[in-house]
């Protein structure tokens, strides 16, 4: 039964089955993850995107809220070979259009060959090809979402583990996953979560031992305030960053970032440490990368597949960043020691 249409660049139409009705648009990307669909669907880094699952069956172990990374589904739309009723009903309750019964292998291959692309979806009993095409033609490039941080960040200063005895962390929330906060709190850190556009004065007001820039969606150049905070506190406080946070830190210290052809999204990304030659498996979700780290940062880890920077450090300035997600749920957990290393910097 065809009651959904997916329109991609070039005005190509793909027929599908509606699993959650509605019309939507966004950048079409894919993830190679075969577990962790609840975590992926609630990851703020997927804001303004349409997420395609390369694994054929999504939803085979249900939906449990304790696995969520945020308080809502973040992608604008979902594409899969087959969605279970549990996931379809969850997406419908969240108002997120979803389709299945289409060849996701073909979509993944096209994204891999042509790069992430604009997409429009129309799903439901009244869906038409024309409606999907209209959504496609209204879609923006990710770099055009200038204030995307406002869609995923806390609105005001929020404190976690206020009575903790550990390091005081100023976490600039550019779209932080909940497991980042959990990983810090588990180590008894007091975590002050600040809005994505926090100022130097906002950071100074919490008197932190550590500045931490979170992950988030889209182009790092659209997070100017976070970069200004890094520039202000470099050399004054230890600084850490994850994913978009690495890109923001690199830009603030004179590096350059660029959009990747189709990004890294999945739970099986191999990363090699240049100091130890050890390879670990990592979870990743990003469409931008550090092209040039600049003179102040050393590349300490690289992606085995394409040599893009996965870790940046400066021992003298006490900076450690990672492009991947050390806190990944459901895994892998090869690199959880990152949080111990970061908090050790602040304690010392």
Edge-to-edge strands of the sheet including 279-292? 158-160, 190-195, 168-173, 210-213, 239-242, 319-322, 309-314, 298-303, 256-273, 279-292
Q: What angle do CA 114, 120, 126 make, to 5 degrees?
A: 145
Check if 192 is active-site.
Answer: no
CA distances from 115 to 30, 109, 287 (A): 10, 9, 10
* Beta strands per DSSP E along 147-278: 158-160, 168-173, 190-195, 210-213, 239-242, 256-273
> Which position has the token pair 């289409």?
102
8 A C-beta contact, residue 259 and residue 287: yes
CA dihedral over 276, 278, 284, 286, signed as positive or negative: positive
Select from 100, 118, 104, 86 the least CA-distant residue to 3.
100
Catalytic, 327? Answer yes
> Which of 323, 325, 303, 305 is CA-nearest to residue 313?
323
Report whether 244 belongs to an annotated binding site.
Answer: yes
Task: For residue 269, say whether it is annotated as part of any ligand binding site.
Answer: no
Task: Check whether 288 is labelled as a binding-site residue.
Answer: yes
Q: Which of 38, 119, 243, 318 is catalytic?
A: 243
Residue 174 among the catalytic residues: no
In eight-state DSSP terms, residue 64 is -
Closest CA to 122 of 141, 101, 98: 98
Which residue in 145, 192, 286, 325 is the catalytic one? 325
The answer to whether the peptide bond before residue 330 is cis (omega within 30 degrees of 0) is yes
Residue numbers belonging to the annotated binding site for L-glutamine: 45, 216, 218, 244, 247, 285, 287-288
Give the residue numbers of the binding site.
45, 216, 218, 244, 247, 285, 287-288
* Residues designated catalytic: 243, 325, 327
């Amino acid at each position: 039964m065809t009651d959904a249409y997916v329109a991609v660049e070039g005005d190509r139409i793909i027929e599908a089955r509606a699993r959650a009705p509605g019309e939507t648009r966004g950048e079409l990307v894919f993830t190679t993850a075969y577990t962790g669909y609840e975590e992926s669907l609630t990851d703020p880094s997927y804001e303004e995107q349409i997420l395609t699952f390369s694994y054929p069956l999504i939803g085979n172990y249900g939906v449990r809220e304790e696995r969520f990374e945020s308080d809502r589904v973040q992608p604008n739309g979902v594409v899969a070979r087959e969605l279970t009723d549990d996931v379809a009903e969850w997406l419908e309750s969240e108002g997120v259009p979803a389709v299945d019964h289409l060849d996701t292998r073909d979509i993944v291959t096209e994204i891999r060959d042509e790069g992430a692309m604009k997409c429009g979806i129309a799903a439901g009993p009244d869906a038409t090809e024309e409606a999907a095409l209209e959504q496609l033609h209204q879609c923006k490039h990710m770099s055009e979402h200038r204030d995307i941080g406002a869609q995923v960040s806390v609105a005001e200063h929020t404190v976690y583990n206020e009575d903790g005895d550990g390091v005081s962390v100023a976490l600039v929330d550019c779209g932080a996953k909940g497991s980042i906060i959990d990983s810090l709190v588990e180590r008894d850190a007091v975590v002050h979560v600040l809005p994505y556009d926090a100022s130097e004065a906002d950071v100074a007001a919490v008197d932190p031992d550590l500045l931490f820039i979170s992950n988030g969606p889209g182009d790092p150049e659209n997070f100017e305030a976070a970069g200004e905070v890094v520039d202000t506190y470099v050399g004054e406080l230890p600084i850490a960053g994850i994913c978009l946070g690495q890109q923001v830190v690199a830009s603030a210290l004179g590096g350059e970032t660029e959009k990747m052809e189709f990004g890294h999204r999945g739970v099986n990304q191999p990363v090699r440490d240049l100091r130890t030659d050890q390879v670990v498996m990592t979870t990743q979700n990003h469409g931008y990368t550090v092209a040039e780290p600049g003179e102040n940062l050393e590349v300490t880890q690289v992606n085995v597949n394409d040599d893009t920077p996965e870790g940046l450090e400066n021992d003298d300035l006490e900076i450690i960043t990672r492009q991947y997600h050390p806190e990944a749920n459901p895994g892998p957990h090869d690199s959880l020691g990152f949080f111990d290393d970061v908090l050790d910097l602040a304690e010392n």
